């Protein structure tokens, strides 16, 4: 198979869909890998690294798409890439279709096969290709939130860990999944007082068992959320509904109950956000303020730490890329139920129910 690895062109997206190590494994299996010039530069990989691993480096993104059968990326295609995706392509990347109708319509029109990292699902319900980026984003949420609590950038002026004689800051985490647990670890490590909320009691029991005593759990309800937002300095939104839009847990009217300079970090922004006032931002312009509340809603948070993120992502995607390349998408998905759940759009048809529900469309089964 001919596999293409284009350079990511989303704002400040420095990750790359494949490392030289991945190229080596694919070429060892007799596949041809085309890598766009400087695709790996932001993640610390030179064109020579790819060439030495067996790749063919092409000058432009158009060259890569035109030459390839399967495209391996990190982020969803943006408008400039829509015309490059054709009916013979298999595109393997993060899509988050439910949060973008234009992207969904463009991929339907292309009649390509779209396999989404975020909906590849193991038998135990875990999401193996989403987990590493959720781990990065959860940890980064605290790192970024701590920074934006500083007064020069309109935060409350609170040091999360406090100092002797001064209480630490308070962190509220909505969601006890991968993002929430990683955020809690980081916040606890800084010495903050942490509250983790979820509707899944099994997850809350797990958090209660593994976290230190200054991390407390509470059942999530609108009443409890409204109570907690009044005195917490940093609020992390880490809620996920597989393949669907995230529920709005923080509504517009709740902002008036927060103290000026409170910071909201919405990690669920890729799925439409779990806060009503969320709008996607970029690393170039990451925050905005509504009612004196600082919002950090960067849609590709792990892109700011591309070396770590690229290695973490490609560690888990490569086995699936090899399967798709060696067997073809139809056979690979037939033989692997986990991978089959990644199928979102196939030849002009939506095959993942939650996407259709997001736009009130009907589903066409394969």
CATH number of the domain within which 67 lies: 3.40.50.720
Residue 198 is assigned to a ligand binding site:
yes
Region label for 110, one of left (φ > 0), alpha (ψ between -120 and 50) or beta (otherwise)? alpha
- Between strands 90-93 and 32-36, the pairing is unpaired
Whether residue 170 is found in the same domain as residue 281: yes
- Detail the DSSP E strand segments found in the chain: 2-5, 32-36, 56-58, 70-72, 90-93, 113-116, 170-174, 193-198, 215-219, 234-237, 263-266, 287-290, 293-296, 343-346, 349-350
Q: 198 with 218, same domain?
A: yes
- Residue numbers of the domain that contains 211: 130-304
Point out the catalytic residue in the list 96, 232, 233, 266: 96
User: Which pLDDT does position 360 carry in this prediction?
Assistant: 87
Does residue 285 have a known ligand-binding role?
Answer: no
196 labelled ligand-binding: no
- Domain-located, residue 250: yes
Does 17 share its domain with 92?
yes
Give, as one character, the DSSP assignment of residue 5.
E
Among 346, 250, 246, smallest CA distance to 295 is for 250
Phi-psi region for residue 136, left (φ > 0), alpha (ψ -120 to 50) or beta?
alpha
The pTM score is 0.88
**Pair (220, 102) in one structural domain:** no
Q: How many domains are there within the chain?
A: 2
In a domain, 271, yes or no: yes
The one catalytic residue in 233, 266, 270, 295 is 270
Do 265 and 296 meet the contact criterion of CB atoms below 8 Å apart? yes
Residues 109 and 209 in one domain: no
Q: What is the pLDDT of residue 365?
A: 43
Cβ(74)–Cβ(96) below 8 Å: no
pLDDT (0 to 100) of residue 72: 98
Same domain as 229, residue 294: yes
Number of Cβ atoms within 10 Å of the Cβ of 216: 14
Residues of the chain with pLDDT under 50: 365-366
Q: Confirm whether residue 270 is marked as ligand binding.
A: yes
The residues, ordered by sequence, that sit 6+ positions from 360 with a Cβ below 8 Å of its Cβ are none
On whether both 15 and 86 belong to a single domain, the answer is yes
- Same domain (yes/no): 342, 196: no
* 298 carries a ligand binding annotation: yes
DSSP state of 69: S
Asked if 38 and 162 sit in the same domain, the reply is: no
Domain end, chosen from 262, 281, 304, is at: 304
- Between CA 298 and CA 133 the distance in angstroms is 14
Phi and psi torsions of 109, nearest 5°: -65, -35
One domain, residues 11 and 109: yes
Considering the domain boundaries, does residue 282 fall inside one?
Answer: yes
User: Annotated catalytic, 270?
Assistant: yes
Residue 292 a catalytic site member = no
Residues 211 and 233 placed together within one structural domain of the fold: yes
Residues 282 and 351 in one domain: no
Whole-number Å distance between alpha carbons of 173 and 268: 12
Inside any domain, residue 125: no
- Residue for token digits 């875990």? 126
What does the block give as tokens for 174?
Answer: 């909505």
Q: Which of 77, 100, 75 minimizes the C-alpha distance to 89?
A: 77
- Strands in 70-72's sheet, in edge-to-edge order, are 56-58, 32-36, 2-5, 70-72, 90-93, 113-116, 343-346, 349-350
């Amino acid at each position: 198979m001919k596999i293409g690895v284009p350079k990511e062109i989303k704002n400040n997206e420095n990750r790359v869909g494949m490392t030289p190590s991945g190229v080596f494994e694919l070429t060892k299996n007799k596949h041809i890998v085309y890598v766009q010039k400087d695709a790996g530069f932001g993640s610390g990989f030179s064109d020579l690294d790819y060439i030495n691993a067996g790749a063919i480096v092409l000058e432009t993104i158009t060259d890569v798409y035109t030459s390839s059968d399967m495209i391996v990326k990190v982020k969803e295609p943006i408008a400039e890439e829509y015309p490059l995706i054709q009916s013979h392509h298999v595109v393997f990347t993060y899509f988050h279709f439910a949060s973008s109708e234009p992207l969904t319509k463009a991929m339907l029109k292309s009649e390509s096969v779209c396999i989404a990292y975020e909906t590849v699902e193991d038998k135990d319900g875990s999401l193996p290709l989403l987990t590493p980026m959720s781990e990065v984003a959860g940890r980064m949420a605290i790192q970024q939130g701590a920074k934006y609590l500083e007064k020069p950038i309109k935060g409350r002026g609170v040091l999360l860990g406090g100092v002797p004689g001064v209480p630490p800051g308070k962190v509220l985490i909505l969601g006890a999944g991968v993002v929430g647990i990683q955020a809690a670890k980081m916040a606890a490590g800084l010495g903050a007082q942490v509250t983790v909320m979820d509707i899944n009691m099994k997850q809350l029991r797990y958090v209660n068992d593994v976290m230190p005593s200054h991390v407390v759990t509470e059942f999530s309800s609108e009443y409890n959320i409204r109570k907690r937002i009044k005195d917490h300095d940093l609020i992390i939104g880490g809620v996920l509904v597989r393949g669907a839009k995230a529920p709005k847990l923080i509504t517009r009217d709740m902002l008036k109950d927060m103290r000026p300079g409170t910071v909201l970090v919405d990690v669920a922004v890729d799925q439409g956000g779990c806060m009503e006032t969320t709008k996607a931002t970029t690393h170039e312009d990451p925050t905005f303020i509504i009612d004196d509340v600082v919002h950090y809603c960067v849609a590709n948070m792990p892109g700011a730490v591309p070396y770590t993120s690229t290695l973490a992502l490609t560690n888990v995607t490569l086995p699936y890329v090899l399967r798709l390349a060696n067997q073809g998408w139809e056979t690979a998905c037939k033989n692997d139920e986990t991978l089959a759940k990644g199928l979102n759009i196939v030849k002009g048809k939506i095959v993942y129910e939650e996407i259709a529900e997001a736009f009130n469309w009907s589903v066409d089964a394969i």
